[in-house]
Amino acid sequence: MEILKRNVEQIITEEEFQKKLRSGNQLRIKHGVDATSTLLHIGHAVNYWKMREFQELGHKVVFLIGDFTTQIGDPTGRSKTRPDIPRKVISENAKRFLNQATKILINKPNLLEVRRNSEWYDKMRLSDFIALLRKVTHARLIERDMFQARIKNNDEIYEHEIVYPVLQAYDSVAIKSDMTIIGTDQLFNELLGRRYQEIFGQKPQTIITTSITPGLDGKEKMSKSLGNFVAISDLPKEKFGKIMTIPDNLIESYLKVYTRLSFQEISEIVKQKPNEAKKRLAYEIVNIYHREKKAKNAKESFEKIFSKREAPEDLKIYRAKSGEKWIDFLVRESLAKSKTEAKRLIAGGGVDFGGEKVANSGEKITKNGTAKIGKYKFIRIAV
């Protein structure tokens, strides 16, 4: 089955899973999210598209909002303890996150169930929680790679972080999870979930880990903090422009992971010149989220800007003070996060005004015109 191959790294265990599929029963697919952020990008969406494939076969996604566990904070990939988040903020974040996820998932009661783990943890007695802890050793929990890294660097590890995997594992018991689709960074916690399910007399959930590709910079995985991502909420033109910035060596993997094109189609596309192959990739990604008409418009807009050197007509207008320095303008209008970033952008030839590069950060804005900031952002400046 292609559903068990494309974008799938590992199945634990495939033999168990084949039996579940052959049973004809509707499977419950656990998907847990901690509402620490409202951002969902196409890297996250790999799992959502895989879940949707199973929904189309009649299986149900249990969208588990970790409103209780968010207060602890998943230590995965973190070198420092996460800050406390108020319940009200968690609730608001969860709504925004679910709104983005249902742009992909089928939002019907028989195929999508929304739960919150406060349903059981707010009611759990201390004696019951201690009973959960009795079923796992400290040595097992502390072997996680992020904890080992902290130990090596003499960084603090707080006890609430150590018990986080236990809470995530018990979630699988509480919702009777049949399977979960995750990135490899969650494998430790979900393997512990299998163990707890067996202890509580349930069949262990199948774990499917999916492909992880580098972000737009070709280095680290997509991340809000690194700015190397394409957000689900990005406008079509923004998505198209961002994809056009990826290194050439990512084209094939992005086509395989982020589009629904067949491998045969992909093999033909990668034979084209890189710029043309990227255009097709960008078109397909925009088409998935915004449909064909907007994908065509995004492509035409990009070609006007970069092939025909025409500025888009529907540009946002930014007000500049007469004689204002470019460095001050960029920071004031949040086009750069800091003066250091603005200087680096200008020095690297990243600011173009009226078809000419801005030479230095001390240069002043004295007239109206069209500016290009970075690789793909165009604005109109009114003095």
The mean per-residue pLDDT over the stretch 235-245 comes to: 88
CA gap 324, 305 in Å, rounded: 27
- CA–CA gap between residue 368 and residue 217 (Å, rounded): 33
Structure tokens at 185: 């960074």
Q: Which residue has the higher pLDDT, 304 or 243?
A: 243
Tell me the average pLDDT across 289-298: 92
Domains of the chain (ranges plus CATH)?
A: 2-210 (3.40.50.620), 236-306 (1.10.240.10), 317-382 (3.10.290.10)
Could you tell me which of 325, 323, 332, 331 has the C-alpha nearest to residue 363?
325
- Asked if the model's pLDDT at residue 128 lies above 90, the reply is yes
pLDDT at 125: 95
Contact of 64 with 98, CB cutoff 8 Å: no
Helix (H, G, I), strand (E, B) or coil at 38: coil
- Helix (H) / strand (E) element for 375: namely none
| Model confidence pLDDT, tens digit, residues 80-122 | 555 667 778 888 888 888 888 898 999 999 999 999 999 999 9
- The predicted model scores a pTM of 0.75
pLDDT digits (tens, 9 = 90+) for 347-360: 878 888 876 788 88
> C-alpha angle with apex 5: 240 to 41, nearest 5 degrees?
30
